[in-house]
Structure 1
Amino acid sequence: MNQPLSSPLAPATGDTPRRIAVVSASWHRDIVQNAVEGFRAECERQRPGQCQFEQLEVPGAFEIPLHLQRLARSGRYDALVACGLVVNGGIYRHEFVASAVIDALMRIQLDTGVPVFSVVLTPRDFHSHEEHQSFFRTHFITKGQEAAQACLATLDSLAQLPA
C-alpha cells in the first residue's frame, strides 16, 4: 500500500452505505488513532456520506484478529480494518506477534470472504522519544488514508465479480 490506488472499475452505486468496522489497539493509542482518523477522513473525502463506521478498541495488536473474526462472521460488515503498532520493546517477540497478526488477518478474509485491511505496522526502529512519536503519528495518518483507498477500490472491484 505504498502507492495511491485508483480502481479501473466504476464505484458501486446504490443507497446502501458501506459498513466498515475498525478494530484498533489501545497500545500506543496516541499514534494508532491517527490511522483510524486518516482512514475515516479518506473514506469521507472519496465517498461523502457513503460509509458507516464502527470502532472497537482492544488492548494490543495480538487481540485484533479474534475480534475481527467475530465481526466478519456476524455478516454485518462489508469490510474490516485493523490498526496497531507492534514495537520492539527489547525482548525479541515483536516479529512473532506481527507475523501472527498479519497471517491471521489474511486467513480471516479468505475464510469469511470479508475483505480485511491492515494498518498494523512494525517499524524496524521505534523509540519513545518525541522525534519518533511525531514521525509515526504523521505516518499513521498516511497509512490510514492508503488503507481507505485500498478498501474502497477493493469493495468496488468485488462488487463487479460474481459471488
Structure 2
Amino acid sequence: MATKNLSAYNLESVPSAKGYKFGIVVAEWNYEITGALAQGAIDTLKKHDVQDDDIQIKHVPGTFELPLGGQFFAEYSDVDAVILIGCVIQGDTRHFDFICNGVTQGTTELNLKYNKPFIFGVLTTNNEQQALDRAGGNLGNKGDEAAVTAIKMVALQKGMQ
C-alpha cells in the first residue's frame, strides 16, 4: 500500500515545462478512474506552464492497448513524452497478471525503442477502492505523479542534448 500522497511533491523541484509537448493515452476501461487520473495529469502539466495546445489526448479501449497507443504518438506526432494512463483491478482469474505484465513490458520497450519518455501511469490494485484512493482520493492522484515524472524526464533529456 502506498504510504504517501501521490499528489504531494516539491513544486520547486519541477522545472517549467513551457514549450514541451505531451501525449496522453487513456484507457477507456475503468474510465471513472482513468478519467480522473488523466485530469490530474493535465492539471499538473498546466500548473508547470504547459499550454493546452501542447497536450494531446487519445483514448484506447483498455490498459493492454496503452503501449500501442503510445507507439502511435511516437510515430505520428512530435510530442516530447507520452503518459500512459490505465487501471487494472485484481479479479478472480490470472487475467490481471497478463495485462499488468504486458503493459509493463510494452512501456519499457517503448522507452528504449524511441529514446523518449513513456510514463507508466497505470494503477494495479487489489480492488476498486484502492484505485479510487489513488485517482484523487485520500492517497492523491497518480496522474499528478505521472505528469511530474514526464516533465522531469523531458527536462533531463533536453539537458543532455
Shorter chain as normaliser: what TM range? 0.7 to 0.9
Partners of 2:134 and 2:141 within 8 A in 1 = no
Partners of 1:39 and 1:148 within 8 A in 2 = yes
The residue number in structure 2 matching 1:94 is: 96
Superposed counterparts of 1:42-81, under 5 Å: 42-47=44-49, 49=51, 52-81=54-83
Question: Deviations 1:35-76 (Å, cap 9, x if unpaired)?
Answer: 111111111112253871111111100111112112112351
Partners of 2:135 and 2:143 within 8 A in 1 = no
Name stretches of at least 5 consecutive residues in structure 2 with no aligned partner. none
Identity, % of aligned pairs?
21
Superposed counterparts of 1:1-163, under 5 Å: 4=9, 11=16, 17-47=19-49, 49=51, 52-123=54-125, 125-127=126-128, 131=129, 134-139=132-137, 142-162=141-161
Residue 109 of structure 1 and its aligned partner are, at CA, apart by: 1.3
Name stretches of at least 5 consecutive residues in structure 1 with no aligned partner. none
1:153 maps to amino acid: K
Q: Could you tell me how far apart the structure 2 residues matched to 1:141 and 1:35 are?
A: 10
Could you say which structure has the larger radius of gyration? 1
Secondary structure in 2 aligned to 1:47? coil
Q: 1:51 to 1:161 in 2, by over 3 A?
A: farther
Partners of 1:85 and 1:121 within 8 A in 2 = yes
Q: Could you tell me how far apart the structure 2 residues matched to 1:10 and 1:59 are?
A: 33
Q: Could you tell me how far apart the structure 2 residues matched to 1:118 and 1:52 are?
A: 20
Q: 1:5 to 1:74 in 2, by over 3 A?
A: farther
With normalisation by structure 1, the TM-score equals: 0.81
Task: Count matched residues.
Answer: 155
1:4 maps to amino acid: Y
With normalisation by structure 2, the TM-score equals: 0.82
Q: Could you tell me how far apart the structure 1 residues matched to 2:100 and 2:31 are?
A: 17
